[in-house]
Structure 1
Amino acid sequence: MNLSNFGMDTITLGGSLESKLAASRASGFTQIMLWARDLATYPGGLEAAVALVRGSGLRVTGIQVMRDYEGLSGALHDYKLDIAKQMLLVARAVGAPLLMVCSSTSKHASGDMAHIARDLARLATLAVPLGVRIGYEALSWGRHVNGYLQSWEAVALADHANLGVILDSYHMLANDADLDGLDEIPSDKIALVQLSDYMWRELRNAEERLETARHLRVFPGEGAHSKELSDMLRRLDRAGYRGDFSFEVFNDDYVQLPQAFVAKRAHAGAKWVTDQVLRRSLPVLHATPHHAAMA
């Protein structure tokens, strides 16, 4: 595990797309998570945005985010499927290997797991010829799927090689998730791990959960859940996960500060992560009578 395993998320940085790419590269990162709107709202248009990203030398971690997709029926399902197809085309254009799908919050969505799995499998099939993988993430406020084991249940039920689960530390921490469940997920079915923390131990209600998620996250090592994050990271490492980590840090303070300052904090977060994993992965030398005599 080294810096090449980690990427910034454009949501964390203020400024233009050009300056976000430049700041990420200058701080030593080699990959970046893009939001589709980064490309769609670029002044020069989609083609110019794609050329900019490709010219930056940064690898694209993935594209955010398809919302309220699964579990729908009729015209609403058809509408969302059309949107998803366009998102896949954006991902292919910019060379993103992953399209993220967040669990639905729609009151119109079915909670039937077979229905959810079927919709995810269909999207994964559509993504295959485009060279894009689908990752499914449980939002902690999702209407039917709001825990990481539920998202894994849907992915396992879909049983599609081009579909994996996305683990997001914020949502897991917000749910006070039991990390023992990580042992149930094969490492090759984890499409991405998103990392962030927050500054207080308790989320007292749904409003505070949303407010914290969207405005007040911090980098690993900066928040109040370092012990839980360390445990999560070591479990993933022992299970053989060697994929990407993306810093999805929604923070209103960071987007109004110099990008170099924020990127430096992200770099420190990456070092904190590797320190937690590598330090505790080393074998412990237990004292033998011979060692004790020499001490």
Structure 2
Amino acid sequence: MSKSKIPTCYASCSIGTKPEHDLPAKLKAISSAGFDAIELSMPDLLSFANSYLDKEVSNYDFPELCEAGKKVKELCEENNLKILILQPFANFEGWSDDSPEKEDAWKRAQGWTQIMEAVGTDMLQVGSSDTPNIKSSPTELAHDLAQLADLLAPKGFRIAYENWCWATHAPTWKSVWEIVQKADRPNIGLCLDTFQTAGSEWADPTTKSGLIEGINEEALRKEFYGSLQELSGTVPKDKIYFLQISDAYRMDPPLSPEPDESGLRPRGRWSHDHRPLPFDGGYLPVVEVTKAVLGTGFRGWFSTEIFDGRMQEKHGDDMAAFAKKAMKAHERLIKEAGGE
């Protein structure tokens, strides 16, 4: 257990840089640093299933993934770790009712629900959809999430809905909060994120300044800090299921504003490879975002989720040592944000 009163989690997908850094090794490193839980990433579960079952397992081989998931649950218990959530469930909401994408989304939802049972978690992280040509109405998006919540409810499962700052229609905390309110289900809440919050309203990886331009910096600051104040004053603490923690590098040179060959928008590319620990070279107002979340009264799970392409050159290959640095960053963040 960490020294902080706030429970600590580490996203399994965001530690380790080499092939030998498999899921069992990640669990040992995370546990040795004193974290209380993991976010179980589907890519990690897939990789583990391939090794554990000694065969190629696909995203849709749900019985095999459940079998591997039961073993992952055992490994977590051996390492005194809880599985806080299964993630990331992407591009679920917004498809037209008769589309093959809608059919696929529900097939995945039913399969992931089985995996949640197998690994022993009650929470599914859903990222706001980043696919073009989906419905734009918050009411329609909320309807889809409400249906998913109703699928999960009989098992006592919850949805943590996260704004991805490159999402098609819900890139900000306020936009996902509107959708959660419209969905109006007791088992839907928010996954807030320091990177996603600041990355959607404060920062821009396509500009030289690293900030949103077209507005002077003083006005930008006033607008962003007003948004944080609104978050503190309007989101009930019990509707925040957990807070993900990471910073971001200022991009030099700036990223192209155009989508890449896969269609990924610049903030998505930024997210994938340029998110260090707090206090480790980034420039986002991570402490201020954390203060705003704590200002709601929330004292629940803080989860480290970093994607740092410079991790190996900066910190080497020792996952246990890096996990300890992550814990120190967590403790410093709590102290500076006034969470004790």
Pair in the same fold by TM > 0.5: yes
Match of 2:301 in 1: 244
Amino acid at match of 1:8: Y
Match of 1:44 in 2: 52
Match of 2:34 in 1: 28
Q: Within 5 A, what are the aligned runs for 1:197-276?
A: 197-200=247-250, 205-206=256-257, 208-225=266-283, 228-254=285-311, 257-276=317-336
1:238 Cα deviation (Å)?
Answer: 2.8
Match of 1:2 in 2: 4
Match of 1:92 in 2: 117
- Aligned counterparts of 1:26 and 1:55: Cα–Cα separation in 2: 12
1:204 Cα deviation (Å)?
Answer: 5.7
- Aligned counterparts of 1:56 and 1:48: Cα–Cα separation in 2: 13
Aligned with residue 125 of structure 1, among 118, 129, 150? 150
- Aligned counterparts of 1:149 and 1:77: Cα–Cα separation in 2: 25
Match of 1:285 in 2: none
1:205 Cα deviation (Å)?
Answer: 4.9
Match of 2:221 in 1: none
Match of 2:95 in 1: 72
Residue 277 (1) aligns with residue 337 (2): yes
User: After alignment, is 159-168 or 44-53 more displaced?
Assistant: 44-53
Match of 2:246 in 1: 196
- Aligned counterparts of 1:114 and 1:4: Cα–Cα separation in 2: 34
CA gap of 1:139–1:21, structure 2 versus 1, over 3 A, is: same
2:195–2:286 Cα contact (<8 Å) kept: no
2:89–2:127 Cα contact (<8 Å) kept: yes
1:15-38: CA deviation from partner (whole Å, max 9, x where unpaired): 011110000111111211110232
Match of 1:292 in 2: none
1:15-68: CA deviation from partner (whole Å, max 9, x where unpaired): 011110000111111211110232233111414333323332201121111111
- Aligned counterparts of 2:128 and 2:297: Cα–Cα separation in 1: 26
CA gap of 1:153–1:205, structure 2 versus 1, over 3 A, is: farther
CA gap of 1:214–1:34, structure 2 versus 1, over 3 A, is: same
- Aligned counterparts of 2:247 and 2:321: Cα–Cα separation in 1: 18
1:120-175: CA deviation from partner (whole Å, max 9, x where unpaired): 11111111222321011111110111111000000001110000011111111112
**Structure with the bigger percentage of helix:** 1
Residue 110 (1) aligns with residue 135 (2): yes
Aligned with residue 170 of structure 1, among 171, 195, 205? 195
Q: How many residues align?
A: 279
1:181-206: CA deviation from partner (whole Å, max 9, x where unpaired): 31221111112111100132896654
User: After alignment, is 131-140 or 35-44 more displaced?
Assistant: 35-44
1:4 Cα deviation (Å)?
Answer: 5.4
Amino acid at match of 1:13: I
Which SS does the other structure have where 2:307 is aligned? coil
2:166–2:266 Cα contact (<8 Å) kept: no
- Aligned counterparts of 2:197 and 2:240: Cα–Cα separation in 1: 15
2:42–2:86 Cα contact (<8 Å) kept: yes
1:260 Cα deviation (Å)?
Answer: 1.6
Match of 1:17 in 2: 23
Gaps of 5+ in 1: 282-295
Aligned with residue 182 of structure 2, among 144, 152, 157? 157
1:4–1:30 Cα contact (<8 Å) kept: no
- Aligned counterparts of 1:179 and 1:201: Cα–Cα separation in 2: 24
- Aligned counterparts of 2:177 and 2:153: Cα–Cα separation in 1: 20
Which SS does the other structure have where 1:242 is aligned? coil
Give the superposed CA RMSD.
2.2
1:3–1:270 Cα contact (<8 Å) kept: no
Gaps of 5+ in 2: 54-67, 203-223, 258-264
CA gap of 1:34–1:120, structure 2 versus 1, over 3 A, is: same
CA gap of 1:96–1:253, structure 2 versus 1, over 3 A, is: farther
Amino acid at match of 2:9: G
1:208 Cα deviation (Å)?
Answer: 4.8
Percent of pairs with identical residues: 26
1:110 Cα deviation (Å)?
Answer: 0.5
